[in-house]
Structure 1
Amino acid sequence: MNKTSTIAPQLLLALIAIISWFAIVAQFSISIPLLLAKGMTYGEAVWRMFGYLTILTNVLIAVCCTVLLSTPDSALGQFFSRPGVLTALALYIIIVGLGYNILLRNHAPFTGLHWLSDEGLHSAVPLLFTLFWLLYVAKDDLQVKDSLLWLIYPLAYFVVAMIRGGTSGFYPYPFLNVTNLGYARVMANAFMLLIGFFVIALSMVAIAKVRRKELSVE
């Protein structure tokens, strides 16, 4: 991310951090008691929560924004400031937003604090972080080959989700539920989602190329 004298990117990062941390804490405060009531230990309940791609990705976004605001010159700050890392995070949170709003929006309607948390995790943070990426992340060095590296995260998540599901019977999303759908259908769903990841990743690289052309003309 290029250094800039304007305060706008810092304010946007702060807004994203506030919303993401609020939504994460609210989601845990709602879901953990419900899981404990089902007989789970506290550790099992927390482990269950981190089985969701939404939670994992929002935690990454929250940590990224917090580090960039508080300790940008630290080793972690330097890592999160890399255009490739910021682009990967933008890709992941875009998928979270699209996946929920296209596939799961009407799965379980929420109200009150649960609604606020849900919208924060699946709508506000994806939109705001995408806006941050579009406006303030340097895109000069992004290449098509980077798109393949960005797929490691969703592939790793899928493998872990299958292993967890096979040992515990818990599958975080209906389209990954082997018990109900069978392995063939789940593998097909996973393949289509991976294609979606790759197409969006390529689109982001294409945006970067367009931006480079605009800058060269200027």
Structure 2
Amino acid sequence: MTRSRVGRYWHITTFVVAACALIFQLYLVASGDNILDSTAAASRLEQTRRYFSYFTIQSNFLVAVSMVFIIRDRLESQLFRVIRLASLVGITVTGIVAAIALPPSPNYTTGSLVCDRLLHVVVPALTFVGWVAFGPRGVVRREDLLPALIWPIAWLAATLALGPFVTWYPYPFINVTQIGLGRTLLNCAVIAALFLALAALARWADRRLPGDRDTMAS
């Protein structure tokens, strides 16, 4: 079996795991499951809105979209390059932050715990290992770095702007009510710097790691 064929199967597996975890988590939310302690008193509509507000959910969604591009061998556009870079860095940040600052809640149901581990551990690992081992290569360019930052910056801005009106923040390290605006902005700066550093590192490594270039077609 060739490297490109193994890579194709790896990317298909990554897509399936990410998509299934996202759908299953949304089903649990719609069924009234408490994905975080803070959602218990919220309406079903508000719980659904909060589901889509999580950086973890959005980064997993972008991973699934980028896998579709790769599986279909649609690698020529800047749209793909930006989504691929944003999803790669976003899901890596998700894995790092989850390991350091976001342990699973002791109040999770079994279903929520499974989703939590899939979205925070399994998909980040599959995405990162797949990128290192299989690529595709030659799809990270200097002009893609800033566009790839639009999504995380917009997410931070929207989250902080909306927080005072809905009295809810998706993560404790950006909860202005609990830790104050100064600490929150400092945490945001650290996250933004990490995102930019990982994006630059991805561009550097993209030209040096093994893997097929420009196509993952079998």
For the criterion TM > 0.5, the same-fold answer is yes
Q: Secondary structure at the match of 2:53?
A: coil
User: How far apart are the structure 1 equivalents of 2:62 and 2:123?
Assistant: 12
Q: TM-score, normalised by structure 1?
A: 0.80
Deviations 1:86-113 (A, max 9, x none): 2331111101111111111255474632
Q: Secondary structure at the match of 2:19?
A: helix
Unaligned runs of 5+ in 1: none
Q: Secondary structure at the match of 2:120?
A: helix
Aligned with 2:163 (options 160, 165, 186): 165
Deviations 1:118-139 (A, max 9, x none): 1110111111111222233343
CA contact (8 A) 1:54 1:96 kept: yes
Distance 1:41 1:140, change over 3 A: closer
Which protein is richer in helix relative to its size?
1
Corresponding residue for residue 38 of structure 1: 41
Corresponding residue for residue 57 of structure 1: 59
Aligned with 2:99 (options 98, 101, 109): 101
Q: TM-score, normalised by structure 2?
A: 0.80
Corresponding residue for residue 120 of structure 2: 122
Q: Per chain length, whose mean CA-contact separation is higher, i.e. which structure has more relative contact order (CA < 8 Å, sep 6+)?
A: 2
Moved over 4 A (4+): 77-81, 106-111
Given the alignment of the two structures, is residue 7 of structure 1 paired with residue 5 of structure 2, yes or no? yes
User: How far apart are the structure 2 equivalents of 1:195 and 1:209?
Assistant: 22
Corresponding residue for residue 152 of structure 2: 154
Indicate the RMSD between aligned Cα atoms, in angstroms.
2.9
Unaligned runs of 5+ in 2: 214-218
User: How far apart are the structure 2 equivalents of 1:154 and 1:72?
Assistant: 26
CA contact (8 A) 1:16 1:62 kept: yes
Distance 1:34 1:107, change over 3 A: closer
CA shift, 1:155, in A, is 0.6
CA shift, 1:153, in A, is 1.4
